[in-house]
Each structure stands twice: as C-alpha cells, then as structure tokens.
Structure 1
C-alpha cells in the first residue's frame, strides 16, 4: 500500500514537472492566456449585447455567465503575475469556468445535432471547452479555504436560481433546449463545486474576513511548479 501511494505521488510530481506543463505557468504563457481570455471576454460581452439591452440593469451581474467567468480568470491570472493571492477569486474562477465552459459545450453540441452544425457552434463549443480545460490545469495550484468554497457555493446556486426563476439564463438556440439547459446547469454546478471542495485547502481555517493573512507572494516569473505554497494539498 505504501509503495503504491509513493508511486502515485511520484507520478503526480512528474506530471506537474513536465516541461509543457511547467511552461504553462511561466510568465510568458500566463501573459498569453491573459490576452486570450481578455479577447474572449470582450467577445462574450458583445455576444450578450442583445440580451443585456433587454434585461433590467439590476440583473446584469447575473446575465453574461461565460464572459464573467473568463473575466474572473483573466483577473486571477493578472493578480498571480503580480504576486497577489485572492482566495475568493482562486475558488470562484475555476468553478465557474468549468461550469459554464462545459454548459456551453453541451448546448452547442445539442444545437449542432438538432439543426446541423454551424460555424458558431464550433467556435463557441471549442472556446468554451478551452475555458474548462485551463481551469482544470490551474486548479491544483490555487489556494482557498473551505469557508471560501462554502461562500462560492452559495453564490453559484443563487446564480442558478436567478437564471431559471427570473428567466435571465443565456439565450438558447431553440426554446426546446430549456430542460437540457436547466438540468445541465444544476448538474454542472454540483460537479464544479465538487472539484472545488476537493482542491480546497483543508488545513486552512481562515475565513473571508482575513485576506491579508492568506496572501502568499508569487515569483514575478509566473506560478512556480515547485513552491509548496501553491501545490494542491491533496
């Protein structure tokens, strides 16, 4: 049993130390991701322009789910490059990236299967899949407490409630997708929050009111793959 656990840990370290993976956390790669995600975020808000104009202003923070998710990740990467840790964002960003990234893939694949694939389906499907994948790559190196995770959980489920109780969910390709949109949104909330719980720093009991105590400065050359301050505790 001990040998098996040792082999597993060795494989994990080797995976994290792979040159391609390590390069992803360099300042060059992270800066490139900031630019890509910023462009995607701006396009996302443009894509939501019609829905926003038809939605009361008070609901705007709950409407453009995907661009808000990629915007959160853009801000997170920027802060990491500056050596700033923000536990709330380190939990929220990957959760919503996985949730809305996979949700958009499901809706676009369904639209393609129903009405025939269009360029928009390919563009939106692949770009949102990329959102989820980058979250999964960065997640093990992020830090937040279980209390932060609990607060993010409340926000995510409130967002689901708002979307389908107040009908401010993203516009669908066809009204017949409503049940699929609702069901997949809830299931993906459970999935992404489950991952969020797994990556939460179980040793940290600090709450939301103690941000300064949880700040770990990062190297200006990116997110180090070897620093024990940013390794997954699992």
Structure 2
C-alpha cells in the first residue's frame, strides 16, 4: 500500500494528468456552484469582496496550478517564487476548506438537516482535496515562510467573510450558529497551517534519509 503514496507514484505523469483534469473540472464546477452568491455579492457588496466569496474552488484552483509546476518544471522553472507561494496556498486552503465543508455538511445534518446525494458528492470531493494536498507536500518546494504567508491570506479571507458577511452559505439548520462557525473557521485555518508544517517537516525528514 505504501506504493500509492510514494514519490514515484505521486510524480507519475498518468497520475498528475488525472489529478489535473479532475481538479480543473472540480474548480469550474465549484465556481458555478457559487454563482448565486457571487451575483448577490456583486449587487449588494463592494466589488473587491468578490475574490473572498468562492473559497473551495479557489483552493482547488491553487492545487490545480501547483500540479502544473510539477508537470512542466522546465517551462515554469523560472517562476520559483510564484510556484512556492501557490504551493503554500494550495496546501493550507485545500486542507482548511476540505475539512470545513465536510464539517458544515455533517453539522447541519446533526441538527436535523437532510443529507442528499449532492452532499455525499461534496463530502467525497472535499475530503479528497485535503488528502491530496497533504500527500503532495513531499513533491512541493515551498518552505515555512510561504506556509505562513498562505496562513495569513487565509486568515484575512476568514476576517472578510465574517466581518462583511460573505462567508459561504450555510445549511439552514446552522443559520443560528454563525458565531460558533466563525470560531471554528478561524481555528481550522490555524490547524491547517500546523498540519501543513508537520507534513513539510515529515517530507524533509524522508528526503534526508535518501
């Protein structure tokens, strides 16, 4: 089983292309999913807040771009600063919003909400976001500095979400729990940075052995 999270398997062209295509289509679907909220934000909020609305698809976009740097290192090799920034953002946001979405779906269901097939599809896809990001840390080049930058951006996103009420629309059963959701969201961002750092340290130890 260890083969399936080995460097040779994760760096294979077949897997990279497969993940790139899946994440690209998932990103497009995610932005379509946010269409109604984006329209409402456009009408009722300052335009600069639009970038903070579609959280999960933007996280998926970061990971999709990070895969491009792995697939075409020669062509994109000179963009090292951009690469490491995107990688840091991909890890922090994919872990954070992957876990966040699953948590909100089950929290809503625990308070009486109904789970439909779209919910199970979202659970599977968002858990995959978190897992793939942590697995690919060993192939990424970002360091602690970029991880902290990604964490700072994600905390800014959290602040804008809840200060200006552009956070992702919640299940109806959670409408009375926005303060608790806000606290959970900020804590999850910090936890995602810590998980990314632990994965980064683990990857460095693994590389040092070989």
What is the TM-score with the length of structure 1 in the denominator?
A: 0.75
- Report what 1:36 is aligned to: 22
Structure 2 partner of 1:232: 203
Structure 1 alignment gaps of length 5 or more: 1-13, 202-230
The 8 Å contact of residues 112 and 118 in structure 1, kept in 2 or not, is answered as no
Give the 5 Å matches for 1:194-205: 194-200=194-200
Cα RMSD of the aligned pairs, angstroms, is 2.0
Matched, 1:182 2:182: yes
> 2:28 touches 2:57 (CA, 8 Å); kept in 1?
yes
**In 1, Cα distance between the equivalents of 2:64 and 2:186?**
25
User: C-alpha displacement at 1:110, in angstroms?
Assistant: 1.7
Displacement of 1:59: 1.0
Question: Take 1:49 and 1:106, find their aligned partners in 2: how far apart are those partners?
Answer: 22
SS of alignment partner, residue 141 of structure 2: coil
> What do residues 175-200 of structure 1 show as CA deviations (whole Å, max 9, x unaligned)?
13423421221121111111233345
How far does the alpha carbon of each residue in 1:66-85 deviate from its partner, in whole angstroms, 9 at most, with x for none? 00000110111012100145
The structure with more helix, counted as a fraction of residues: 2
- In structure 2, the residue matched to 1:23 is 9
Distance 1:119 1:79 in 2: 34
Distance (Å, rounded) in 2 between the aligned partners of 1:145 and 1:19:
24
1:117 is matched with 115
Give TM-score scaled by structure 2 length: 0.83
Q: Which has the larger radius of gyration?
A: 1
Counterpart position of 1:73 = 63
- In the alignment, structure 2 segments of 5+ residues that lack a partner are 206-210
Question: Structure 1 residues 159 and 129 mapped into 2: Cα distance closer, same or farther (>3 Å)?
Answer: same
Out of 152, 170, 175, the position equivalent to 2:150 is 152
Higher relative contact order (CA 8 A, sep 6+): 1
* Count of aligned positions: 190
CA contact (8 A) 1:107 1:177 kept: no
Distance 1:82 1:64, change over 3 A: same
* Equivalent of residue 100 in structure 1, options 82, 97, 102: 97
Could you say what secondary structure the match of 2:167 adopts? coil
Query: For residues 176 and 170 of structure 1, what CA distance do their matches in structure 2 show?
Result: 15
- Please say if residues 24 and 64 of structure 2, whose CA atoms lie closer than 8 Å, have aligned partners that are also in contact: yes
Structure 1's 179 and 65: CA in aligned 2 closer, same or farther, altered over 3 A?
Answer: same
